Structure 1
Amino acid sequence: MDLTIAAFGFSALLLVALVVVLVLFLRLRGHTQEVEQALAEQSGSKERADMLMAVAQAVNSSLALSDVLHVALTQSGRLMGAVAGAMYLVTPGKAEMRRQSDYNLTHNARGAGRKLDEEPLRSVVTAQRPVVAPLDSEHAPGLEGGGHPTHVLVVPVQRATQLMGAMELYLPKPRQLREDQIELLQGVAAEAAMAISHAQLYQAQEENALTDELTKLPNRRYMAQRFLQEMQRARRHHKGLAFLMLDIDHFKQINDTNGHLHGDAVLAELARILTVAKRESDVAARYGGEEFGLILNETGETGAMTLAERIREKVEAATFPGGLKLTVSIGVATTDDEALFTSLIEKADQALYSAKQAGRNTVRVADMRGVGARRE
């Protein structure tokens, strides 16, 4: 009997002990989960802080705008689990955006442009916050690894109330955005907007420094920089290069008879004619005074002569301010010999002198084999 009672008492104590251990285990497990959750939140906060820091460092460094956009885009895409992404910037003076940076998209993927009044961009601009929207196969861009995304997360990039662009993060499935994720994406977008603003200001300053105030054409400094670039490109692709130098005939008489303000108006009108007559790929610049230069890439003698004659005929047919009828003389120099590229401007200048000597209102081609007459 005593043994039975003892055994029963021991069993009861064992059961109580098990219950206590179970309670302690459950409490410990709950505490562990709380610790894990706290650590995860702390880790997530650190990751978000690191992400913002990376974008901020890119903005404040000497990186080009394209690099800053790429950092913001890829960092945001990694956080949101995007399979690809694209950054769009607003086109000045137009209600549209153009894609400026992307990753994991096919070459020439559809959607290079975005209209501001199209969905989902219109809703994003109105809400001024990120929006997840479905994508149909007709409008979804192709992925580098194959297939198309099914959803897009659109993040507006704006500074104050000015819309500057948008990030598109392409998702393999729909997802709900947490408030902390929205705040983070807005923070990244704000950093990107600052970089865009700085780049646009710098570009405007550069354009002012490289633009002739009177004619609004590029100036001689810009032409020199661009000519160097075109020489390098022609060498790389083994293409020809041409240069045109033109001069208004008897321009000094216009200034002496009608005044310099009238002469300025004539120069501005000639610049307009050159802009209309040249090809889009050609570069027209004011070389100095009444002289203008044109850089023609991938152009041989026939193409350069054709353009020069077109310009000469348009000028001769035009009526300039004050009812003036004017003409120009043009010198042409072309070559596909990269060793002679650096001589093109000098040779075109010499050909222009020959055109003046031949009676003006004419076109002359430089002899690239020898040294022609020099201007005086």
Structure 2
Amino acid sequence: MSDPQKALVQSAWRFSLGPMIPSIDARPLFGPPGAARGAVDLAILMAATDSGFMTLRHLPDWVPIQPVAIDRLLKIFALPQEVTNRLWRQKFAGPHANVYRGWFPLQDGHQTYKEGYDLGPDIAYGPSRVDPNDPLTEATPLPPADLLPGWQEEISRYYKAMEEVCATLLRAIARGLGVPEDSFAAAFAEGVSTLRLLHYPLRPERSFEGPNSAEIRVIHGGREVALAGKPHVNSGFVTLLCQHGVSGLQAIGNNGECLDVPPLPATLVVNFGKLLERWTWGRIKATTHRVIDGAGTARHSVPFFYEPGVNACISPIPGLGAPFEPFLYGDMLWEAMMRFVEFEGLDHLRKRA
């Protein structure tokens, strides 16, 4: 990298979050080709191959991540429990048809203590994106529209905006890797990306009871805190996370150090998933992260998991490392999700292609 290139990359990559996580000015990504965009491409690649985490600031106005916009999405958590119970997944409400989409409630005795709501592409594109023969492409159960006026439109707008930001990152990563910018794109036609709304309440004492109770409390910053989300990596290509004013997310470095990711307003946290790590033969890292219950208050966040289509065949891209045996993304995704507490025990409910 030449000295002028280094200067441009340094201007794009600002270490405002500590020694591990860069904060990148996203404006050139959405502009024309040129030196500034090329510098951001390199900054993203550096983050992806080093920490596996970064933040994006100065996103376009059409990306609705301002706190007031996120407030509107999170109104669903104010609905009465008898309404949200109708959205529960089959694991938690046996008569319900939905297996993969919908609501998962709090579960005591685990390292992860959160409730959430998983929404699929049908919220943005309608029933054409639904195939009831596969739980990964099932319809998203929705609350009655009259209880949350305008909410479904807001959710659809947010989903589409996150897709566009992810597609922009996809092209930037390809350019940074030195392959054609459309190298990954075909796999994301008919993608099954998930928009997840999350609520982490303060853990009550009863939530510590169970066989995993000894693993729930950890030491951070010289004090004991509870976990709210166990250490894990994400399965897909990239994840965009909008935090909502309360800290708790931590990236875990190769040396085991846990680094806080501050919840900066109108900023997206980006981490890279196992699919991208596998596709690039380990050159890009899927970084382990966790959530702690250390702020003394409830926490909300909104992650968006950018996923290819269920039947997308993931195969080697020339120039990105050693060859691997092609696989269907849906098979990889299902296997990965079955390791999470909200999906445990459901493996038999999907027939493999």
Q: TM-score, normalised by structure 1?
A: 0.22
Higher relative contact order (CA 8 A, sep 6+): 2
Of Structure 1 and Structure 2, the greater helix share is in: 1
- Between structure 1 and structure 2, the one with the greater Rg is 1
